[in-house]
């Protein structure tokens, strides 16, 4: 699949290194699953991890480690060898696997909570450190409040499309924004726009009403 907007190279590095925060990793994985370009980039960055692994300080394993592994292979937690054709349970095959795994059922069956006129929210994870992972479903023609962030925000478009100061974002595109960027997405006419969004810190809304809504919406 060809997508127009990609992960920041710094995000590719953090993702490949395993040090990107959980919520951001899920959105990055969703985009990578839909984007050949970024998948190739992540593989390149993972080769860096491999080089560091080869040169890392080796620590001796316990003397019986290998026999313990063979015992487990032979024992109760023996798993059938997997092949590349094995497919896992997938609640919604129309979505990339890292995203569909977040749902218990199809995207069409998600129960959205109202988060303001024309906006539905489905919170997947909300952490004490302020980071969160959620989906938004926004009506065509709707304008989201102008906002910025104290940390990184990553948005993956799943359905529909929106435009903002940066460009037009369609399914598979990711908006990988840092704390300096303020934007005001406007949903395109036609169909609802559904996005998966991860933030490192709560959004900073500009207007008074959105600010008042924030504790209710919870983002």
Partner 1 sequence: MIAPAVTDGIRRQTGKNPQAELFAQLLNDVAERRDRHAFAQLFEHFGPRLKGFMMRKGANAELAEDLVQDAMIAVWNKAGMFSPGKGSVTTWIYTIARNLRIDRLRREGSRYFTDIDDYEEASDDPASDDVVIGKQQDVAVTEALDVLPDDQREVIVMAFMDDMTQSEIAEKLDVPLGTVKSRMRLAYRKMGSVLEDLR
Query: Which residues 60-119 are close enough to bind partner 1 by CB under 8 A?
Result: 60-62, 65-66, 68-70, 72-73, 77, 79-88, 96-98, 101-102
Residues 6+ apart with CB under 8 A from 137: 110, 112, 119, 120, 121, 122, 192, 193, 194
DSSP, collapsed to helix, strand or coil, labels residue 212 as: helix
Minimum distance between the CB of residue 146 and partner 1, rounded to whole angstroms?
Answer: 22
Minimum distance between the CB of residue 14 and partner 1, rounded to whole angstroms?
Answer: 6
Of 40 and 212, the one with the shorter C-beta distance to partner 1 is 40
Q: Which of 53, 76, 111, 215 binds partner 1 (CB under 8 A)?
A: 53
Do 5 and 175 touch, CB atoms closer than 8 A? yes
Question: Looking at 49-57, 106-114, 160-168, 204-212, which segment touches partner 1 (CB under 8 A)?
Answer: 49-57
Do 49 and 78 touch, CB atoms closer than 8 A? no
Minimum distance between the CB of residue 110 and partner 1, rounded to whole angstroms?
Answer: 17
Do 116 and 123 touch, CB atoms closer than 8 A? no
Q: Which of 3, 31, 33, 185 binds partner 1 (CB under 8 A)?
A: 33
What residues numbered 126-145 form the site for partner 1, per CB under 8 A?
A: 127
Number of H helices, E strands in the chain: 6, 11
Minimum distance between the CB of residue 209 and partner 1, rounded to whole angstroms?
Answer: 30
Q: What is the 3-state secondary structure (H, E, C) of 57-113?
A: CCCCCCCCHHHHHHHHHHCCCCCCCCCCCCCCCCCCCCCCHHHHCCCCCCHHHCCCE
Of 164 and 176, the one with the shorter C-beta distance to partner 1 is 176
Minimum distance between the CB of residue 117 and partner 1, rounded to whole angstroms?
Answer: 30
What residues numbered 156-215 form the site for partner 1, per CB under 8 A?
A: 178-180, 200
Of 58 and 208, the one with the shorter C-beta distance to partner 1 is 58
Q: State the number of binding residues for partner 1 (CB under 8 A).
A: 74
For residue 24, count CB atoms less than 10 angstroms from its CB and return exposed for 0-12, middle for 13-18, buried for 19 or more. buried
Minimum distance between the CB of residue 36 and partner 1, rounded to whole angstroms?
Answer: 4
């Amino acid at each position: 699949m060809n997508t127009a907007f990609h992960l920041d190279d710094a995000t590719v590095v953090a993702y490949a290194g395993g040090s990107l925060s959980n919520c951001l990793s899920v959105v990055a994985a969703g985009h990578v699953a839909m984007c050949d370009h970024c998948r190739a980039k992540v593989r390149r960055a993972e080769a860096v991890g491999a080089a560091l692994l080869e040169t890392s300080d080796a620590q001796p394993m316990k003397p019986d480690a290998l026999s313990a592994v063979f015992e487990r292979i032979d024992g109760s937690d023996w798993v059938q060898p997997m092949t590349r054709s094995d497919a896992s349970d997938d609640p919604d095959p129309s979505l990339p696997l890292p995203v569909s795994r977040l749902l218990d059922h199809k995207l069409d069956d998600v129960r959205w909570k109202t988060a303001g006129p024309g906006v539905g929210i489905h919170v997947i994870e909300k952490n004490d450190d302020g980071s969160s992972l959620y989906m938004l479903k926004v009506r065509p023609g709707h304008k989201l409040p102008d906002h910025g962030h104290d940390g990184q925000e990553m948005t993956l478009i799943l359905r529909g499309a929106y435009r903002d100061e940066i460009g037009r974002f369609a399914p598979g595109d990711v908006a990988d924004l840092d704390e300096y960027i303020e934007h005001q997405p406007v949903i395109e006419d036609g169909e609802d726009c559904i996005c998966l969004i991860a933030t490192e810190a709560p959004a900073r809304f500009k207007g008074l009403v959105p600010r008042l809504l924030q504790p209710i919406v919870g983002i």
